[in-house]
Amino acid sequence: MKKYAIIIEKAENNYAAYVPDVPGCIATGYTLEEVKNEIKEALEFHFEGMLEDGDTIPYPASICDYVDVEVEVSILSGGGFMSTDC
């Protein structure tokens, strides 16, 4: 079993996920749990197709991490943030 990094983005009404190491493998879901399940199924399906076509399954190489950034911000009415420095 290999572990692949996924990126999950919040859209207006749902979530979207993609896999940096597997171009073209995407999924959507209304909840975080749903999009995680959908991207797992999408990866499995994608890999099955790659193997049927004689392609090599890409090795998981992407690394996920976070950085702390200190920025003076003002809270907007929509729940977002706006930098006062820009």
pLDDT string in tens for the chain (86-residue length): 899 999 999 999 999 999 999 999 999 999 999 999 999 999 999 999 999 999 999 999 999 999 998 877 665 555 565 555 44
Predicted confidence at residue 72, as pLDDT, reads 72
Query: 28-34: long-range contacts at Cβ-Cβ below 8 A with a sequence spacing of 24 or more?
Result: 32/8
Cβ contacts of 9 within 8 Å, gap of 6 or more: 15, 16, 17
Maximum CA extent, the chain:
53
pTM of the full predicted structure?
0.76
